[in-house]
Structure 1
């Protein structure tokens, strides 16, 4: 579909660095500028319903559409400063994240804003709720629930966020976890787990090494491929862990599949997580 998005009201981002937690959300601290905007794809686990090329062919300035239920939390794809634009033409309710170096990201067709204008956010913090139901407040020209995402470069030209992410990977990536040797899960082990789940199973929270319900639910989704048949409830029990042991058995774990994670189970799982593709 076509989105004739106005850029009025879009503010250039304040320079930010670091982060703090307020009320369970991550917020960036004002300070010196980032060396470059680091952007990731928070929506890798959702189906793309309209590509960049399809948008352009339909006369749009460009965007990527992801199918998702109304009310889905929308994580910031990178640190920046938030500006909300209600009823922004065909784009409906739009949230803009102004990043470092003049780049911006925009999410369209929101059902709700959750932050005030000028709020500083860190990567992964929730900035709004998805919408898009035809005729609903904030949907603009959308004909069904989805999220539209695009970026804008410093010269004001709309660009493909997936191409940007592919061309600007985070410097150095994540370090390897020592759990492969120690058999004891550490924060780096959990960060690598979160990044793997972000890339493959729809995890959209921060890569902070502190797994919560959303992390565990994404792990349960991943374990569908290893024999887990229980609920996706974010509560890890023996059946969930048994599937993790099944995965680990392909990476050197030779113990029982009993759903009790010991040092050898964790070593095998960590060998899987230490693969370069999950950096």
Structure 2
């Protein structure tokens, strides 16, 4: 995914419309900052909750408003990521989906209820893609981003972006990036050294397969040995980067040119000629090393 060239934007308040507690964020900060013990987070007195596995699906996008900036502007808190309208939104963790149309200033909102009392919410959606009650795995697409001024579902947004926050078991909004930092997923794939060496290898291809598993329907093994199914999924992913050829799993000049186009958003400055050299691979590897594909 490329980093979108859109202006910083945010909602004026991102207040939920009914059904969610509006307790102080200071209490939420205390719960996330100092009471995690042995993998358990304590919310309501006497009640223990297991910490769900959450990752940041949006690490490749520019943050246009931080948690602190949200709070300073009177919001209950959130993180804003600039992205074009219609971008697929992967679930940050497994759970059950509930769609909330026109949720106050937050506009169309999708809630992912995790099995342990935590919730994640994405605001200002342009479209819902799943029915209420759908169970999803981490990485499944749960909606489409929006936020264009005045568009249906945008709420009070001032420009295309995604707003993300979490809610702890006591009903308080918490910072998802702080949560992820405090509860890193276990069993993560190692980062590839291709970002430095410019030479692809099994770790690079394994991360590519995992990216494609999470976003483009790859169902094969994460073994670092790409075959036809891996490359067919890669070609599907490359539709967003200028590839218009067949989805046949056979990589040619046009397929690799689209890879270079993707890599151009991650430091590659060479020609889009479909000939993968060390600099092309370095740029592609920077994308594959995003935390989202761990």
On whether the aligned pair clears a TM of 0.5, the verdict is yes
Determine if the alignment matches structure 1 residue 93 to structure 2 residue 108: yes
Contact 1:228-1:243 within 8 A present in 2 as well = no
Question: Which residue, 74, 77, 82 being the options, matches 2:97?
Answer: 82
Aligned partner of residue 140 in structure 1, secondary structure = coil
Matches for 1:67-78 after TM superposition, within 5 Å: 67-78=82-93
Contact 2:97-2:113 within 8 A present in 1 as well = yes
Equivalent in the alignment of 2:205: 190
Give the 3 Å change call, closer, same or farther, for CA 247–111 of structure 1 in structure 2.
closer
Q: CA deviation at 1:122?
A: 0.9
Q: Deviations over 1:28-58 (max 9, x none)?
A: xxxxxx9641111111111111110010011
Give the 3 Å change call, closer, same or farther, for CA 35–185 of structure 1 in structure 2.
farther
Give the 3 Å change call, closer, same or farther, for CA 90–204 of structure 1 in structure 2.
farther
Unpaired runs of at least 5, structure 1: 11-33, 178-182, 231-236, 249-268
Question: Which residue, 201, 205, 218 being the options, matches 2:215?
Answer: 205
Matches for 1:262-273 after TM superposition, within 5 Å: none
Q: CA deviation at 1:205?
A: 2.7
Q: CA deviation at 1:242?
A: 1.7
Looking at structure 1, the residues matched to 76 and 169 of structure 2 have their Cα atoms a distance apart, in angstroms, of: 16
Give the 3 Å change call, closer, same or farther, for CA 157–219 of structure 1 in structure 2.
farther
Looking at structure 2, the residues matched to 246 and 105 of structure 1 have their Cα atoms a distance apart, in angstroms, of: 34
Q: CA deviation at 1:123?
A: 1.1
Q: Deviations over 1:219-240 (max 9, x none)?
A: 533366355431xxxxxx842x
Aligned partner of residue 212 in structure 1, secondary structure = helix
| TM-score after normalising by structure 1 | 0.64
Equivalent in the alignment of 1:25: none
Task: State the Cα RMSD in Å.
Answer: 3.8
Determine if the alignment matches structure 1 residue 109 to structure 2 residue 124: yes
Question: Which residue, 16, 19, 37 being the options, matches 1:8?
Answer: 19
Equivalent in the alignment of 1:45: 60
Contact 1:132-1:144 within 8 A present in 2 as well = yes
Question: Which residue, 207, 222, 247 being the options, matches 2:263?
Answer: 222
Q: CA deviation at 1:100?
A: 2.5
Larger relative contact order (Cα-Cα within 8 Å, sequence gap ≥ 6): 2
Question: Which residue, 277, 280, 291 being the options, matches 1:242?
Answer: 277
Looking at structure 2, the residues matched to 112 and 69 of structure 1 have their Cα atoms a distance apart, in angstroms, of: 13
Q: CA deviation at 1:191?
A: 3.3
Q: Deviations over 1:98-118 (max 9, x none)?
A: 112111100000010000000
Looking at structure 1, the residues matched to 187 and 234 of structure 2 have their Cα atoms a distance apart, in angstroms, of: 26
Q: How many residues align?
A: 215
Displacement over 6 Å in runs of 4+: none
Unpaired runs of at least 5, structure 2: 1-11, 22-48, 193-198, 223-229, 242-257
Looking at structure 2, the residues matched to 204 and 44 of structure 1 have their Cα atoms a distance apart, in angstroms, of: 14
Contact 1:194-1:215 within 8 A present in 2 as well = no
Aligned partner of residue 170 in structure 1, secondary structure = coil
